A and B are shown apart, each in its own frame.
Chain A
Amino acid sequence: MSDTPIPGYPLRPGRVHEVCGPGAPAFAAICAAPGTGPVLWIREAHTREALTPQGLLPFLDPARLLIAQTRTPADSLAVAEEALKDGTVPLVVLAVTRPLDLREGRRLQLAAGAGGATGLCLIPEGMGSNAAETRWRATPRLAPQPGPDSTPFRWESIKNKSGTTGAWDVLWEPATHRLRVVSPSRE
């Protein structure tokens, strides 16, 4: 039950991935959890939603997080490209607010390939770029029994350039810092 692998997860390094849906920030936090290096989270300064360090605690140490606030989407992309190309930061999370065209997506992909870092774009529904390696939809799911000891999600792999797609019910266990696949979802 627990060790069913999900194709495409963990995210392939040196590539840029995409995630949409209401569980996208948690998806990014779960992707950042196994590492120890810094995590760069790029967002536009005018967004109303803010990450809270207390909310990140079940996933990762908030001291690892660096937040880059940009004025325009173009700045966000430039910062992401710079960070991916450098490769010092193993995971670069980019909150996207407008559709990326193929050129922008491809540039990010090349930068990630050059630096070996993983890129993850948090996209609004349907605004992905064709250049993305994988695309996920993450939605929180109602836990069958109460209690905060595990957090259930449904992860759907909508696109995977080098593997199959599918949908899985997963549980994040904060105590053990482990992702458990409950069952491949059939719907």
Chain B
Amino acid sequence: MFCGSRRRIVCVWFPRLASDGALRARPLEGPFALTLRQGNAERLHCLNRAAEAAGLFRGMALAEARVFCAALQTRPADLHREAQLLAALRRWATRYSPWVGLEGEDGLALDITGAAHLFGGEAGLLADLRARLSRAGFTACLGLASSRGAAWALAHHGEGVAPPGEDLAAIAGLPVAALRLAPETVTALQRLGLRHVGDLARTPRAPLARRFGAALLDRLDAATGAAPEPLTPGAEPPRFALRLTLPDPIGLVADVQAGTARLLAALCARLAAQQTGARVLRLTLRRVDRDTQEVELRLAAALRDPARILPLFTRGIEAVDAGFGIDQLRLEAVQVEPLPAQQLGTTTAPGDPARLGDLLSRIGTRIGLENILRLLPADSHVPERGFLTAPAAFSRPASGWNAPRPRPLVLFPPEPVTAAGSTPPRTFRWRRMALSTARAEGPERLAPEWWFDDPAWRSGLRDYWRIETRQGRRLWLFHTPQAPGWWVQGEFA
């Protein structure tokens, strides 16, 4: 479709992307650099213009740089932030053309074929791009050509515009490094006396291919437009956020509900298109006085049915202080989970997972989803750690329980009883009740887990007894032989 010479590609190179980004957030005067730890040394990663003017360069050791320039101010570099910044710039650049891809770690490539006239021609587009970037605080070098290779060469070596079909003429005078070659290849070519792209283009191809391999000629062909080089636009990740700005502030609960319903319908349509469901939703209400109020909704299961989600917002919206009125609503699905389309059943029996999920969400809006618990087996012989409690919304029911010996139904922190000796007491007092032993089963000796320092188990070994009292209560007593004493820890059914 876009054959060679018709394409027009802009390459934008940000020579100081990281430092420009850091200084945009917190401006500084004077020489500045971002440092990155490489191996054992802090090295300069990205410098501003003042630092470059002081004679510093990228890759220089920080200690050395301080000697050259005592006024140097530094901050640690954050490569992840840098990548995010470039991704944000890429998204911004889609204002010029829908076909924008990343060019390495510090550049963008825009396919502006057929889009330049919207900005008053190519010159107008470049001027607009440059003006906006410099106003935003970014140093940018622009190159425009019919091929991606030539645009890169122009952007990185002195900027410029190659007229359509004259790529080779435009870059003939540039050094061979402009062809995106490996440094050793560049050095080898220079030793052969091939210093410029033009020299290389005039050289017979066969000896070059024999000496340097096909990669060199591929690069040359890509730059001259003889071989096509694709430009992959960045994928636009689905965004599950919507906002509604109102001409007049609102304050009634019903009005906010109505606005939320409108946003929710659109959001759920988006979720359905992506086969996902929301797990956490956040409704941000901006008030006239620029204060924001947030309503967060955590769901027990992924959901994308507006009719089921909306009632869950009621409680949160009622608690919002509208002040002088709300003029913007923003709804965002903070956490989404895959939710493929499902066969609809005709029954809604009790215990139906969807209905149970709804119920848990509703209860969760009141007491918090993490307070609805489920018991899971745990691998420990210590009674109080023989099971785990996990939030029901974030865990699956598990089986695999085993109780080789009867265990009490109710467990509580040990309560002392007055008794002596290592055999179960004939009579004892517990919770102000006088109890007498009818039957005792035991002992079952449990040792503390030595790898886990539990203060409750500092008294050492425990001999557990199941005591049936004449009064009826069936209690779980233990004796600590290493620190003599009797305790009650649980009650059997």
Contact = CB atoms under 8 A, between A and B. Distances in A.
A67 B389 contact: yes
Contacts of A26: 409, 493
Given A82-B362, A89-B350, A89-B356, A71 B367 contact: yes
Contact of A66 (B374, B406, B472, B492): B374
Interface string A54-75: 1111110111111111110001
Q: Which of B366, B384, B471, B474 has the most CB of A within 10 A?
A: B474
A183 interface: no
Contacts of B384: 50
Contacts of B351: 36-38, 88-90
Given A58-B493, A63-B398, A67-B372, A148 B406 contact: yes
A67 B376 CA distance: 12
B343 interface: no
B472 A139 contact: yes
B405 to A, nearest CB: 9
Contacts of A67: 372-375, 389
Contact of B356 (A49, A58, A88, A148): A88
B367 A69 contact: yes
A53 B409 CA distance: 8
Given A88-B356, A89-B350, A49 B371 contact: no
Contact of A83 (B359, B371, B491): B359
Given A38-B351, A48-B413, A142-B470, A55 B492 contact: yes
Interface residues of B, number: 51
Given A49-B410, A52-B408, A86-B355, A142 B491 contact: no
Contacts of A55: 403, 406-411, 490, 492-493
A179 B432 CA distance: 32
Interface string B58-76: 0000000000000000000
Interface of B is mostly: mixed
Nearest to B470: A142
Contacts of B386: 52-54
B294 interface: no
B409 A56 contact: yes
A75 B401 contact: no
A51 interface: yes
A26 B397 CA distance: 22
A75 B491 contact: no
A25 interface: yes
A137 to B, nearest CB: 12
Nearest to A45: B371
A62 B398 CA distance: 9
Interface in B368-385: 371-375, 377, 383-384
Interface in B441-493: 441, 468-474, 490-493
B96 interface: no
B248 interface: no
Contacts of B383: 52, 54
A22 interface: yes
A54 B403 contact: yes
A168 interface: no
B356 A143 contact: no
Nearest to A26: B493
Contacts of B438: 142
A63 B400 CA distance: 10
Interface in A101-136: 117
B366 A82 contact: yes
A69 B364 CA distance: 10
A172 B493 contact: yes
A50 B412 contact: yes
B288 interface: no
A70 B371 contact: yes
A70 to B, nearest CB: 5
B21 to A, nearest CB: 45
Interface in B392-430: 392, 397-399, 401, 403, 406-413
Nearest to A61: B399
16 contacts: A50-B410, A50-B412, A51-B375, A52-B409, A52-B411, A54-B387, A65-B375, A66-B373, A66-B374, A69-B373, A71-B367, A88-B350, A142-B469, A142-B471, A151-B493, A154-B472
Nearest 3 Cβ contacts at the A-B interface? A55-B409, A54-B407, A37-B351
